Amino acid sequence: MIENDRPVIANSLWTATANPAPDCQPLIGASHAQVAIVGGGLTGLSAALHLAEAGRDVALVEAESIGWGASGRNGGQVNPGLHLDPDEVESRFGPEFGPRIVRTSGAAPQLVFDLIDRHQIRCDARRPGWIRAAHNKSALGDLDSKIRQWAARGTTLHRLDQGEMAEISGTDTYAGGLLDPRGGNLHPLNYTLGLAHAAQRAGARLHGQSRALRLSRDGTSHILQTDKGQLRAQKVLLCTNGYTDDLAAPLKQTVVPVRSVQVATEPLPEDIRRTILPGGHAVADSRRLMLYYRVDAQGRLIMGGRGAYGDAATAHRLQSLRDVSRQMFPQLGDCRWVHAWGGFVAMTADHLPHLTRLDGGILSALGYNGRGVAMATVMGKVLADWACGTPDAALPFPVAPPRPIPFHGLRRLGVAATVAKYRALDALGL
Ligand SMILES: Cc1cc2nc3c(=O)[nH]c(=O)nc-3n(C[C@H](O)[C@H](O)[C@H](O)COP(=O)(O)OP(=O)(O)OC[C@H]3O[C@@H](n4cnc5c(N)ncnc54)[C@H](O)[C@@H]3O)c2cc1C
């Protein structure tokens, strides 16, 4: 079970099958570091690892345990690219940053699989490719456009017709699909814990149960205060994504935390297991309220989708995921559903991750819009490069001041209204 979270979303498959966590004692007393990191998920740990490998003295504080946030709860789908397609990214960001953002996001899975190899991380990593499935015929045009846009940049994605999609997924729900060979899947908590072990081996100090309560400035240093300790550093990296609190206003107003939830079966009998995603692919479909699913290394089907804020509504969404799984894969019959859990993804107004500067010495990376396994790993490295002195203009993403979302206080109402609209459009097949 995930500790210190609501029971309705705490019964995580990943926590139940986790490798041993690193020893991360709370921060006690006063200490120094060149770089302080807030948040022990993929962004913070990737930053800590890359900084320690570059010889920097780095300390990280995590409010709960390592991987407690979305990094230890997600679907483990390692997907390339961003929500926006390359043409749109380049037209928004222009000739300097546009191609860099596209290249960096397209290569993000490679960094993940390279780190896993280099640090021998045991996380059931597989790289058969990642699939986007078209839930109706009108979604096929979008897949063809993605294929054209990536081809123009030297990357071949494969179009799957209806029959190929049915064969690869095990369901005839879809009108077709796209196979992106750069993607894959893994056990997300074990990947996160593996990065933490690697960061510690490289010399990073990681502190669990150490919520940063205040951030202040003293001359050229920044001071992070926890309930039992104090950390002074020249640079601070904020890596709190969908769990961003009031530590560094107005960062919290730049993202909307939205709940995503998953359910998992028991390990399926071999004859059923062979019929669902037999090639080990992970799928995300083209519905506005996307379904994402895969089978784990022990043969459990994991189905994910949009959650809700309240417990009753969340329980209802979890049941809908079980129901839709049975519709798509009737062979599941009366298999047992053993796990149900969820967490917060961080959405941004422009659907893109942001590098946000809060002060000359404080930078944050957040807003992965539900696609952070690969991108958070990359952005942690980008933060590390910045903390090592890479100038803003040479980073792969532009650095900007905080961009608070208007009417942020009404975000829950806004999310509920958007979800209702999307559900209606999906139901109408539009
Ligand atoms: C259910 C679910 C499914 C998902 N599926 C996928 C998927 O299949 N593929 C994909 O690419 N992405 C997926 N995502 C998104 C992905 O998990 C995230 O984008 C990514 O993990 C973000 O990593 P992070 O390190 O930035 O943030 P997190 O992992 O959320 O870590 C932030 C951490 O900051 C800590 N923190 C916050 N405030 C403080 C403070 N004041 N002091 C100390 N610590 C603090 C929190 O405790 C938390 O542990 C999913 C997310 C969820 C919730």
Indicate the domain borders of the chain: 7-75+189-253+349-414, 129-184+257-347
- CATH superfamily for 129-184+257-347 is D-Amino Acid Oxidase, subunit A, domain 2 (3.30.9.10)
Q: For residues 143 and 408, what is the distance between their CA atoms, to the nearest angstrom?
A: 33
pLDDT (mean) for 55-59: 98
Q: Which atom of ligand 1 is nearest to the CA of 210?
A: 43
Distance from residue 70's CA to the centre of ligand 1 (Å): 3
pLDDT (mean) for 2-16: 97
More confident position, 413 or 194: 194
**DSSP label of 269:** P
Mutate to test the pocket of ligand 1, among 345, 378, 379 (most ligand atoms within 8 A of CB): 345
pLDDT digits (tens, 9 = 90+) for 151-174: 999 999 999 999 999 999 999 999
Distance from residue 331's CA to the centre of ligand 1 (Å): 33
User: What band does 147 get if pLDDT is binned at 50, 70 and 90?
Assistant: very high
- What is the per-residue pLDDT for 430? 58
The separation between CA 31 and the C-alpha centre of its own chain, rounded to angstroms, equals: 31
User: What band does 360 get if pLDDT is binned at 50, 70 and 90?
Assistant: confident
pLDDT digits (tens, 9 = 90+) for 304-314: 999 998 999 99
383, 48 in Cβ contact below 8 A?
no
Structure-token pair, residue 134: 């078209």
Q: Which helix (H) or strand (E) holds 343?
A: strand 337-347
φ, ψ of residue 228 in degrees (nearest 5): -120, -5
Q: Is 243 in the pocket of ligand 1 (CB under 6 A)?
A: yes
Continuous H helices in 72-153: 86-106, 108-118, 140-151
Q: Which residues of 223-249 are buried (b: 16+ CB within 10 A; e: fewer)?
A: bbbbeebebebbbbbbbbbbbbeebbe
339, 17 in Cβ contact below 8 A?
no
Q: Which atom of ligand 1 is nearest to the CA of 45?
A: 25
Q: Is 343 in the pocket of ligand 1 (CB under 6 A)?
A: yes
Q: For residues 77 and 374, what is the distance between their CA atoms, to the nearest angstrom?
A: 9
51, 58 in Cβ contact below 8 A?
yes
Distance from residue 341's CA to the centre of ligand 1 (Å): 14
What architecture (CATH level 2) is domain 7-75+189-253+349-414? 3-Layer(bba) Sandwich (3.50)
Q: Is 368 in the pocket of ligand 1 (CB under 6 A)?
A: yes
pTM of the model: 0.96
**Which residue's structure tokens are 């910045």?**
386
- What is the per-residue pLDDT for 25? 98
The closest alpha carbon to 418, from 294, 373, 426, 218, belongs to 426
